[in-house]
Amino acid sequence: MRIAVIVTTYNRPDALAAVLAGYLAQRDAEFELLVADDGSTDETRRVVDEFKARAKFAVTHVWHADQGFRAAAIRNRALAATRADYIVFSDGDCVPGPYFVARHQKLAERGWFVAGNRVLLNAAFTNRVLRGQLPIHEWSLHNWLAAWMKRDINRWLPLLALPDGAFRKSAPQRWEGVKTCNLAAWRDDLLRVNGLDETYSGWGLEDSDLVIRLLHAGVQHKSARFAAPVFHLWHSDNDRSRLAENQRLLDALMQSKRSVAALGVNRYS
């Protein structure tokens, strides 16, 4: 099974460098990585180029011009640029632990998408991590417990590792809370629903739309909680001025059985 990790980023090269360091330290390097760049400047390109020179796996920089928040579009471009069998979506502010890719590979199962969760870092701790280039991707549970005691992170329980089991399929129709910062699916399932829907403009709900359409297509939810968390670096809130319109689009989708994106990945194929 060929795996591709798609990491979405926009003009945050220090955070992206920390994330890419986490992928460089993966215990299983049998994957390719695509940086889905939503219009960043040359500083981000330099970070990616430096990473390419060090990586033991294929790295592709997929870029389009900055025309506002277009995460769905750049993810679709990256999806069209790979022929991997299985896709792991994440973000350029979400640092993976050393077994992140391997555990997603282990949880992969036909007929299911796999959704993980996040540990949130606060603003002050995020600044210390980035300024000091702290290798949090290699931290032990003891390190994270100490960070939690100082309230540098919101929780530590997601760091406990549990094996695969029936509990992972206990909510097969759940879409709430699933985010593309930690979501994996078979590429042919993603193509069947035409990827992400670029009808969504600005920040918000394009990931929920994707998950609901996967459910409509018969692909069910399997949990990666207590297996493959990511460490989410703090950032200020995105512009949410389009959220109401995006919510209207999502509400309409939930009242239907539609599974195919109106404006999706097929435009790049």
Question: For 48-101, what is each residue's pLDDT tens digit?
Answer: 999 999 999 999 999 999 999 999 999 999 999 999 999 999 999 999 999 999
Q: Is the pLDDT of residue 238 over 90?
A: no
Work out the pLDDT band at 204, boundaries 50, 70, 90: confident
Q: Tell me: the pLDDT tens digits for 114-166?
A: 999 999 999 999 999 999 999 999 999 999 999 999 999 999 999 999 999 99
Q: Is the pLDDT of residue 240 over 80?
A: no
In the chain, domain spans: 3-268
DSSP structural state of residue 87: E
Q: Is the pLDDT of residue 232 over 90?
A: yes
Q: Is the pLDDT of residue 233 over 80?
A: yes
| Closest to 113 (Cα-Cα) out of 125, 121, 101, 104 | 104
Work out the pLDDT band at 27, boundaries 50, 70, 90: very high
Neighbours of 37 (CB within 10 A): 25
pLDDT computed for residue 224 by the predictor? 98
Looking at 3.40.630.30, 3.90.550.10, 3.50.50.60, 3.90.870.20, the CATH number of the domain 3-268 comes to 3.90.550.10
* CA–CA separation, 193 and 215 (whole Å): 10
| Closest to 98 (Cα-Cα) out of 8, 157, 24, 47 | 24
- Token pair 């097929």 is at which residue? 266
pLDDT computed for residue 267 by the predictor? 95
Predicted TM-score (pTM) of the model is 0.96
pLDDT computed for residue 129 by the predictor? 98
Q: Residue 33: beta bridge partners?
A: 5, 59
pLDDT above 90 covers a percentage of the chain that reads 94
| Closest to 123 (Cα-Cα) out of 233, 223, 241 | 233
- Average pLDDT of the segment spanning 27-43: 96
β-pairing, 94-96 vs 118-120, is: unpaired
Q: Note whether 95 and 230 are within 8 A (CB).
A: yes
